Structure 1
Amino acid sequence: MKKFAVFGNPVAHSLSPTIHQMFAEQCDVAISYDKLCPPLEDFAGSLEHFFEDPHAVGCNVTMPFKGEAAKLATRLDHAAQLAGAVNTLHRQNSSMRSEDSRSEVSLNGYNTDGVGLVADLKNQAVALADQRVLLIGAGGAARGVIHPLLNAGLKTLIITNRTMAKAENIASQAGDSRVVALDKPGLAECRPDIIVNTTSASLGGELPDLNNISFTQCQLAYDMVYQAEPTVFMKQALELGAQNAADGLGMLVEQAAAAFTIWTSMQPQTRPVIEALRQQLRR
């Protein structure tokens, strides 16, 4: 049986085992998928122990280990390189280390967050080609979605953040003239079509800094956080003129689907999983 896991600390709240078991049932694949909570100082040791099992194929990585996972990976995809963070590891063929005759695991590292976001934006019936997208926040969540959004054909990708140096750094590293960082005065003249809150503010019932951000032409306000009820950001965006609002539950499922495909080469259906999880959250 193929083995998978999600590494995080804390990790008890993770929906990943439920999601991947649903995918496996769809695809008629037998898997085991565990939640692993290594000590903060021993992620590397726990990861090595997991992959000592020859049946271990891959794993997901969540906070606070995404950055360390990027350093431990043998190869990184483009999104993971820019983000400096990995949420999916896939075991490749092992080589033998002559000094102790043990196999050395080679791990490919991916960041599937951006692919998940783009897929869920499309689920919301939002066109991305030639659109102006504003990202609020300049942390790892923003970094991980830059290139998948650009690959979707955006006209402009705008980044704003309380600390503008961080937004400017991401824009410069993106290597694409469509990516710009805007401060508060610059935002006053901006009319984005899609606004994405990449911060975790909603988890604490708080709003990111929305000063000078216009929602009057916003087709969709998207919060990467998900909750049983609409988040505070979603509610505020609608009050400020956004046509529609959505949370990040679909992104969670879509990024998991991308990981599942990396591991198994199978493409599960995401809509029934999103609907089932939404029902569970509302109970």
Structure 2
Amino acid sequence: MAKPSQLAVFGNPIEHSRSPEIHAAFAEQAGMQLFYSRILVPEDEFESTVTDFFDAGGLGCNVTVPCKGDAWKFVDEATGDAELAQAVNTISRREDGRLKGDNTDGPGLVSDLKKNLGWPLKDRRVLVLGAGGAVRGVLSSLLKEAPVQVHLYNRTHATAVELVDRFSQIDAQPSRVSAVEKAELADGYDVIINGTSAGLADQRIDLPANIVKRDSHCYDMVYGRKAQAFLNWAQAHGAGATSDGLGMLVEQAALSFQIWFGHEVNTAPVIQMLRESEFS
């Protein structure tokens, strides 16, 4: 019998990661064996921790906060999306031993929005809240979907301006993406995506109510309890549909699985399994 493939997710904290459950479900679909572990990365020890994993025979790994930037610096080569984001969430070992970095967060988000939720992005007016690593990792994929307008709002405006400047250089229609101050937020966006850490810290949502309209779709990139503050706010202000980022978590994992093994998996039953376990 072939030895199970060695995979892992690296981060800090890491004990609550659901990646092992997700990839175990994917492996069952694909009829293969794998061993997927959670590995805590001590501060300033990402390179040595991941090197030890691959030296011991690791096939590939996922990387979560706060290590995605470290992973981008660590890999031997990175895909275009990872270079733009300056962040890597998936590392694979090539046949020549070199380590390749990818970022599946953006494609995972878009897949959840379009495939699972049925929320189109083409020709839509989109507001993205935040300008940190989470947003950096998905902005390129959002722009590829041809929204008519993308506004970035961040409490530190200069950070949003810097991000827009970087992505405008590669966008075919740079004028459609802009950083806005709170007073410049428009009425009634079609899609609002929260990529801030507000949900993680249970901070008060300080946004004008007019950004939401009756058919606005509001999405938080985190999932479960951590997303409730923003989603409750959106529902209270009349949003037509809301969702947390559980589907994004599964979709980006499915893309990682495909990078490692070449298998496309069915994400719907895995999302359902995780959703049911939240309430069990």
TM-score, structure 2 length as denominator? 0.92
Q: Which has the larger displacement, 20-29 or 153-162?
A: 153-162
Change (3 A) 1:136 1:213: farther
Amino acid at match of 1:111: N
- Matched with 2:14 is 11
Residue among 264, 267, 273 paired with 2:264: 267
Contact 2:187 2:212 in 1 (8 A): no
- Matched with 1:68 is 70
Amino acid at match of 1:140: G
Q: 1:2, CA displacement in angstroms?
A: 1.3
Would you tell me which structure has more helix in proportion to its own residues? 2
Taking the TM superposition and a 5 Å limit, the aligned residue runs for 1:50-199 are: 50-54=53-57, 56-94=58-96, 105-122=97-114, 123-174=116-167, 175=169, 176=171, 177=174, 178-187=176-185, 189-199=186-196
- Matched with 1:98 is none
Which consecutive segments of 4 or more residues in structure 1 shift more than 3 A? none
- Matched with 2:238 is 241
CA distance in structure 1 between the aligned counterparts of 2:99 and 2:78, rounded to whole angstroms: 9
List per-residue Cα deviations over 1:241-273 (Å, max 9, x = no partner). Answer: 210110011111111111111111111111100
Change (3 A) 1:228 1:271: farther
Q: 1:203, CA displacement in angstroms?
A: 2.2
CA distance in structure 2 between the aligned counterparts of 1:266 and 1:71, rounded to whole angstroms: 28
Q: 1:229, CA displacement in angstroms?
A: 8.7
Contact 2:188 2:216 in 1 (8 A): no
Q: 1:39, CA displacement in angstroms?
A: 1.6
CA distance in structure 2 between the aligned counterparts of 1:156 and 1:79, rounded to whole angstroms: 20
List per-residue Cα deviations over 1:215-257 (Å, max 9, x = no partner). Answer: 0155310011211596011111011121011001111111111
CA distance in structure 1 between the aligned counterparts of 2:188 and 2:180, rounded to whole angstroms: 12
- Matched with 2:41 is 38
List per-residue Cα deviations over 1:167-225 (Å, max 9, x = no partner). Answer: 111111002212111112211x3431000000121123224431365101553100112
Total equivalences in the alignment: 271
Q: Which has the larger displacement, 38-47 or 128-137?
A: 38-47
List per-residue Cα deviations over 1:113-145 (Å, max 9, x = no partner). Answer: 111110111111111111111100000101111
CA distance in structure 2 between the aligned counterparts of 1:209 and 1:108, rounded to whole angstroms: 40
- Matched with 2:50 is 47
Change (3 A) 1:116 1:135: same
Contact 1:190 1:214 in 2 (8 A): yes
CA distance in structure 1 between the aligned counterparts of 2:204 and 2:92, rounded to whole angstroms: 36
Residue among 211, 214, 223 paired with 1:226: 223
Task: Find the residue that maps to 2:263 and give its secondary structure.
Answer: coil
Q: 1:87, CA displacement in angstroms?
A: 0.7
Task: Find the residue that maps to 1:33 and give its secondary structure.
Answer: strand
Which residues of structure 1 form unaligned runs of 5+? 95-104
CA distance in structure 1 between the aligned counterparts of 2:154 and 2:143, rounded to whole angstroms: 19
Contact 1:8 1:62 in 2 (8 A): yes
CA distance in structure 2 between the aligned counterparts of 1:194 and 1:41, rounded to whole angstroms: 37
CA distance in structure 2 between the aligned counterparts of 1:207 and 1:127, rounded to whole angstroms: 29
Contact 1:184 1:212 in 2 (8 A): no
Instruction: Report percent identity of matched pairs.
Output: 43
Which residues of structure 2 form unaligned runs of 5+? none
CA distance in structure 2 between the aligned counterparts of 1:159 and 1:139, rounded to whole angstroms: 11
Contact 2:200 2:226 in 1 (8 A): no
Change (3 A) 1:153 1:217: farther
CA distance in structure 2 between the aligned counterparts of 1:59 and 1:209, rounded to whole angstroms: 37
